[in-house]
């Protein structure tokens, strides 16, 4: 728990610097075996890329060093990871997520992603964003091809 506090305070310091530089109050640290591997801040203000969240940037940088699996890493984030970032954390196998500010505390500042969590919890047909499944038979053959090429990997 002491280490969690230390890393969260470090992330908050990075987020404060990001706000002072015109960015959003979000930062993330990726830590493995007590060592900070990556520090990242939200860079939407720099790139205009709406996916340039601190957690995703940290995952991308760490994956360049370690590969696609980050099973033994912990991510420390200033805010509750949004659904996009949380999905990415699951996909890369992060061992643990620790965050400082919840969606509830961020809501008053317009920084909550609770509404997106709510939408994606609904069946596809009930979500606000129209999502249409158009099955394509050729995808089954493509999946078989992929599986054959990756058998035993």
- Residues belonging to the active site: 55
Tell me the C-alpha distance between 143 and 19, whole Å: 45
Tell me the C-alpha distance between 57 and 16, whole Å: 17
| Start-to-end Cα distance in the chain | 37
Q: Hunting for tokens 């809501």 — which residue is that? A: 107
Q: Hunting for tokens 């830590």 — which residue is that? A: 31
Please compute Rg for the chain using Cα positions.
18
3-state helix, strand, coil in the chain (%, to 5): 50, 15, 35
Residue 47, both tokens: 């790139």
């Amino acid at each position: 728990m002491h280490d969690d506090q230390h890393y969260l305070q470090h992330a908050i310091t990075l987020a404060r610097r990001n706000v002072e530089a015109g960015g959003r109050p979000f930062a993330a640290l990726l830590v493995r075996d007590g060592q900070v591997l990556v520090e990242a801040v939200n860079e939407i203000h720099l790139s205009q890329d709406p996916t340039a969240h601190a957690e995703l940037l940290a995952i991308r940088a760490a994956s360049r060093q370690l590969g696609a699996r980050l099973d033994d890493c912990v991510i420390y984030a200033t805010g509750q990871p949004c659904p996009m970032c949380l999905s990415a954390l699951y996909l890369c196998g992060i061992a643990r997520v620790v965050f400082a500010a919840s969606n509830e505390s961020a809501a008053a500042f317009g920084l909550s992603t609770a509404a997106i969590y709510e939408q994606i919890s609904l069946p596809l047909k009930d979500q606000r964003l129209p999502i249409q499944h158009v099955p394509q038979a050729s995808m089954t053959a493509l999946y078989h091809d992929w599986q054959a090429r990756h058998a035993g990997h």
